[in-house]
Amino acid sequence: MVDPEVFDFWVRHLNPAWSWSRPLATIVERRVEARDTVTLVLKPNRHVGDFLAGQHVNVSAEVNGRRVTRSYSLTNVPSQGRSRRLSITVKRVEGGALSTHLVQQARVGDVLGIGPAFGEMTLPPQPQGRWLFLAAGSGITPLMGLTRALAAQRMPVDLTLLYWVKTHAELCFLQELRALSTRFPRMRLQVIVTHEAASVPGEAQGLISASQLAELVPKLSEHQVFACGPGGFVVTARELCAERCQAFIAEGFTPAAPSGIAGARGNGVDVNANANVEAEAHAHASTVRVTLQRTGRELRLSTGLSLLEALEAEGLNPPSGCRMGVCHSCVCPRVEGTTQDMQSGETQSEANMAVRLCVSRACSDLTLDI
């Protein structure tokens, strides 16, 4: 009887987190976690789905009149019922649209859009054995969620957490991590600073390397490794560990390359292959005609950009999230034409196949079902 859009419009005046069907969450707490980094505790409405420790969600907010969506890892242990909460920890990226908004402008009472949880870096039903967490910078966030979940199970594994930060001012969750490693003898915490001298006894220094890992984790071959951080860190961690440990699972946070090409880093993607695809695409960039089937609109888009970036450059705002090919929010059917997957370098021309706009570029005139 009631149009959901109309319902949402009117009900928003009573409570901005009420909606007919949209998953929304209200900021109920804001804590400064470290320099340029805040934790936001969110109270979800009933449309927000469940999540597992180690997963991420796409968070949206209006920034300068435009809806912006990015992925953030959930750092708390999942809970149920009316007291259910989500927490995210956001580090401000210089010039970054959403991170700057969330760290500097967002306040208690603000309402954010929340997408479904995604990500494979989760706990097995019965965690056991020796685990090694490798966290760099804001890559600590999903690993913090997993550490808290393991602590809630009274630490069923031998856990070593190596945590790299550029400077001490960037360290997040330090007190809690130290308290957990004191409470659980099976947990060991090692902080490593890369752009400052180590100043606390027991701290290590320097970028991740084979010799550093050999010193800090003598029995690497007995460990399952979980790595998270910027793309370059994840690639190095993979090179150093993947062939020498029991299992290796990693997630990279690095977004689209500054060159303007979406380059997924980590997540099992060969970063050198990406770089080659990007360089090739740039060297031979031209424009093609892209038809948006639903509106009939025709655009000329560069073949040197991901389709997502090219559409955004034309003022469009297609759904997106991670911008790295992981969350699938930007998937849309390619009705006809040829695209290249910028992660694998593969070209695809089959009609009516789904493409991820953030990691695909146009190779010919295209029709997209948007």
Q: Residues in the site for ligand FAD, rule: CB under 6 A?
A: 56, 68, 70-73, 88-91, 93, 95-100, 138, 141, 251, 253, 255-256, 258, 322, 324, 326
Do 358 and 306 form a contact (C-beta atoms < 8 A)?
yes
322 belongs to the binding site for ligand FES (CB under 6 A):
yes
Q: How many CB atoms lie within 10 A of CB 122?
A: 16
> Which of residues 208 and 292 has its CB atom nearest to ligand FES in the complex?
292
Query: Which of ligand FES, ligand FAD, none has residue 325 at its interface (CB below 5 to 8 Å by kind)?
Result: ligand FES
Q: How far, CA to CA in Å, does 283 sit from each of 160, 192, 280, 349?
A: 44, 39, 5, 22
Query: Which of ligand FES, ligand FAD, none has residue 145 at its interface (CB below 5 to 8 Å by kind)?
Result: none
320 belongs to the binding site for ligand FES (CB under 6 A):
yes
Do 364 and 337 form a contact (C-beta atoms < 8 A)?
yes
327 belongs to the binding site for ligand FES (CB under 6 A):
yes
Query: Which of ligand FAD, ligand FES, none has residue 360 at its interface (CB below 5 to 8 Å by kind)?
Result: none
Classify strands 158-165 and 187-193 as parallel, antiparallel or unpaired.
parallel
> Which of residues 19 and 99 has its CB atom nearest to ligand FAD in the complex?
99
How far is it, in rounded angstroms, from Cα 74 to Cα 84? 13
Nearest-Å Rg of the Cα atoms of the chain is: 22
> Which of residues 93 and 151 has its CB atom nearest to ligand FAD in the complex?
93
Classify strands 56-63 and 37-44 as parallel, antiparallel or unpaired.
unpaired
Please report, as residue ranges, which positions from 331 to 360 form the binding site for ligand FES (by CB under 6 A).
356, 358
Query: Which of ligand FES, ligand FAD, none has residue 330 at its interface (CB below 5 to 8 Å by kind)?
Result: ligand FES
In the complex, which residue's CB is closest to ligand FAD? 96
Q: Which of 114, 204, 189 is nearest to 150 (CA)?
A: 189
Phi, psi of 222 (to 5 degrees): -90, 0
In eight-state DSSP terms, residue 3 is -
> Which of residues 130 and 323 has its CB atom nearest to ligand FES in the complex?
323
Rounded to 5 degrees, what angle do the CA atoms 175, 179, 181 make? 120
325 belongs to the binding site for ligand FES (CB under 6 A):
yes
Q: Kindly state the number of chain residues that form the binding site for ligand FES, as judged by CB under 6 A.
A: 12
Site residues (vs ligand FES, CB under 6 A): 320-323, 325-330, 356, 358
